[in-house]
Structures are given as structure tokens and as C-alpha cells.
């Protein structure tokens, strides 16, 4: 079994979701970056279209949750709650969402290179 940075990729939770088939898990996490549309999120926020921003975060949260991408998922939950309330999310959570996305993608790249 490969190793992963547990802050970003919770293998203990993620692998059982795919019957401990690590090849399948790696195939699925490899698609994570393409499944999160950061540009659409940024555009929606710039236009103050919090509904669309919320849809992007909701989709990202679902993918992260299903793959047990822990830190990104946890931040997505907080951000989703703020967007669901209909107002602008806290800038610190927006910044964290984007930085955790980058960090999670990097952690996935490292995991896949094992």
C-alpha cells in the first residue's frame, strides 16, 4: 500500500470505500483536480453569485468526502455553510479553500508517484 499525507488523504477511511482496491482509489483521486472548478468558483465570487459559488463548493465537498480528502472536505463544509446562508463567505475561508485545493492536489501527486 502506498503512503499519503494523512492531513490531506485519509487512506484509512478512503480505501475501504473502494473495497481496499488501491489501484481503483488511485484512479479516482487522480481525477480530483479536474473535478473541482476553481475558476468557476472565482468567477462566481467576483460576480457576487453566491449560489453558483455554493454549487461549485458543494460538488467539491462531495468529491472530497467520497475520497476522504480530509482537510479539503472539512474546509468545504465550513465554506458551504457560509454560502448557504446567502451572503459573502469569509475571505479567510475562501483563501483556505483555494490553498487546501492546491495542497491536496500536490499531496495526491506525491501519493500517486509512490
Rounded Cα gap, residues 30 and 23, in angstroms: 11
Any idea where the domains of the chain sit in the sequence?
Answer: 11-113
Using an 8 Å Cβ cutoff, are 97 and 79 in contact? yes
Which is it for the CA torsion 79, 48, 104, 65, positive or negative? Answer: positive
Write the class of the CATH domain 11-113.
mainly alpha
Q: What is the pLDDT of residues 7-54, one digit of tens each?
A: 899 999 999 999 999 999 999 999 998 999 999 999 999 999 999 999
Confidence (pTM): 0.90
**Residue 100 in grid coordinates:** 487546501
- Least Cα distance to 68 among 4, 8, 2 occurs for 8
Q: What is the pLDDT of residues 59-96, one digit of tens each?
A: 999 999 999 999 999 999 999 999 988 789 999 999 99
Amino acid at each position: 500500500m502506498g503512503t499519503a499525507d494523512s492531513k490531506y488523504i485519509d487512506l484509512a477511511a478512503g480505501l475501504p470505500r473502494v473495497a481496499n482496491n488501491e489501484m481503483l482509489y488511485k484512479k479516482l483521486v487522480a481525477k480530483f483536480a479536474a473535478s473541482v472548478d476553481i475558476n468557476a468558483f472565482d468567477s462566481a465570487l467576483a460576480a457576487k453569485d453566491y449560489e453558483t459559488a455554493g454549487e461549485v463548493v458543494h460538488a467539491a465537498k462531495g468529491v472530497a468526502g467520497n475520497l476522504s480528502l480530509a482537510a479539503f472536505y472539512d474546509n468545504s463544509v465550513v465554506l458551504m455553510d457560509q454560502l448557504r446562508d446567502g451572503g459573502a463567505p469569509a475571505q479567510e475561508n475562501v483563501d483556505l479553500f483555494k490553498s487546501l485545493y492546491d495542497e491536496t492536489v500536490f499531496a495526491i501527486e506525491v501519493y500517486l508517484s509512490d
